[in-house]
Amino acid sequence: MKFMFLRLVADSFTRRPRRKVLTAAALSLGMAVVTAALSVSLDVGDRLAREFRSLGANLVITPAADSLPLEIGGVDYRPVNAGAYLPEADLPKIKTIFWHNNIIAFAPVLQTQVQTAKWNPVNQQLENRAEASLIGTWVGHKVPLPDGGVFTTGINQTNSWWTVDGRWFAEEKRECVIGAKAAQRLHLRIGDVISLNLPDPSKMVQLYANLTITGILNTGGADDDAIVTSLGQAQEISRLPGVYRDLYVSALTKPEDDFGRRDPKTMKPEEVERWMCTPYISSIAASIEEVLPGTDVRVIRRVADGEGVILTRVRALLWMVTFAALLAAALAVGASAAASVIERRMEIGLMKALGAGSGTVGFLLAAEQLLLAFVGGGIGYSLGTILARLVGQRIFGVTPEPSLLVLVAVLALAAGVTLLGSALPLRRASRYEPAPILRGE
């Protein structure tokens, strides 16, 4: 009986090839668009999120004791070297939070004002004395993690738009890079040796640290007038060992919705658990505050909100394209199924006259449509994979890889669209009465 049913389905599927080809073509085109949209959405979402990290860190961490604002007209007037400091030894704890894999970079910063002078090797004297801002931070710094691993991070990752003519300083050497404006103001260039000094409060002892300039830094901001060196060198010069002032963190996040913007203090326990288990920027900030006591973790809203808006709009556009493709495929399948049922009225009437029930007839026609859906879905997936590579590479600069998850989703959607589009024609066919049909009415 099973063999006979399969034979009937196969025989019915091979008849009227022109209509089958048109229906399969409509399904293939629709599923190709769906495949491309899903593939691009899965790969490009993460890619765009990582690209947005080039906008800069989306979290800034400062000492809690120094978190009282002193702003006038939106401008922060607190001195950059004022207030408390944080221990550098606690930084590996950031990679122990629940969302540790979403922390893609972080960089501590210690900033202070110093006296500078250019070392003249000819007359063995210091020249061009001036004041400048010194920034100590990490570049390609290897952070040993509690689990035994090593995480490489630094300001070159959190602020990836910073460019250096020459090369970054090596942390283990007495080197630095200098901002383009500072280099012009102090008449310095790559290869020069600059002496930095933080005068002793007693004004009686002055210790100079000699650093070799390895590159000219271009940031497009106020840091173009600063000197940047390793955190260790800055700690030594400022006589503040083992501490930093600010920490910039770059984290992959999910755009905040209405739930994500709620205050966790007003949530129920199950809502707090859901909030903490979603990579909202605010929930990641709360997790960091737990492992770094005595800190104030603030979200840089300009960056985080901009990412959320763009990612949401891109995903919404892709889902709209997917829905339109599915709707078009369903309409095409429905029209084809309706025409096929009308053409096969005599065949359906004969099957019923020979004893086939309405369920059997409907199941036979549905099986035929499902077989067509799998053929069209498979072809559409192949075409969609090629389309996804073209779209992803030309528009988003990323080539999505074929995914088994997308294949299963496309075949399931093809089956669903086919059954949905064929539902009314199949229902009409199952209700046909054999006697009027055989009489030619």
Q: Is the pLDDT of residue 49 over 90?
A: no
48 pLDDT tier (thresholds 50, 70, 90): low
Q: Is the pLDDT of residue 438 over 60?
A: no
44-53, 235-244, 254-263, 360-369: lowest mean pLDDT where? 44-53
Amino acid identity for residue 59 in this structure: L
Q: What is the pLDDT of residues 174-207, one digit of tens each?
A: 999 999 999 998 888 999 888 888 755 554 445 5
Spatial CA neighbour of 279 closest among 27, 104, 63: 104
Which pLDDT score, from 0 to 100, does residue 275 have? 85
Which pLDDT score, from 0 to 100, does residue 54 have? 54
Which pLDDT score, from 0 to 100, does residue 5 have? 47
Higher pLDDT, 257 or 204: 257
1 pLDDT tier (thresholds 50, 70, 90): very low
Q: Is the pLDDT of residue 301 over 50?
A: yes
| Average pLDDT value for the chain | 78
CA distances from 231 to 158, 237, 242, 246, 431 (A): 15, 10, 9, 12, 81
In this prediction, residues 91-117 reach a mean pLDDT of 91
Q: What is the pLDDT of residues 105-135, one digit of tens each?
A: 999 999 998 888 876 666 666 667 788 899 9
Give the Cα separation of 31 and 8 in Å (integer).
27
Strands annotated E in 267-417: 295-299
Which pLDDT score, from 0 to 100, does residue 169 have? 95
Which pLDDT score, from 0 to 100, does residue 90 have? 93
**295 near 246, Cβ under 8 Å?**
no
Which pLDDT score, from 0 to 100, does residue 208 have? 65
* DSSP character string of 207-256: -EEEEEEEEEEE-SSGGGGEEEEEHHHHHHHHT-TTEESEEEEEE--BPP
Q: Is the pLDDT of residue 74 over 50?
A: no
Which pLDDT score, from 0 to 100, does residue 252 have? 81
Spatial CA neighbour of 237 closest among 209, 211, 201: 209
Spatial CA neighbour of 248 closest among 111, 361, 49, 46: 111
Q: Is the pLDDT of residue 95 over 70?
A: yes
Which pLDDT score, from 0 to 100, does residue 386 have? 86
Number of Cβ atoms within 10 Å of the Cβ of 175: 18
Domain boundaries along the sequence of the chain: 2-49+309-438, 57-299
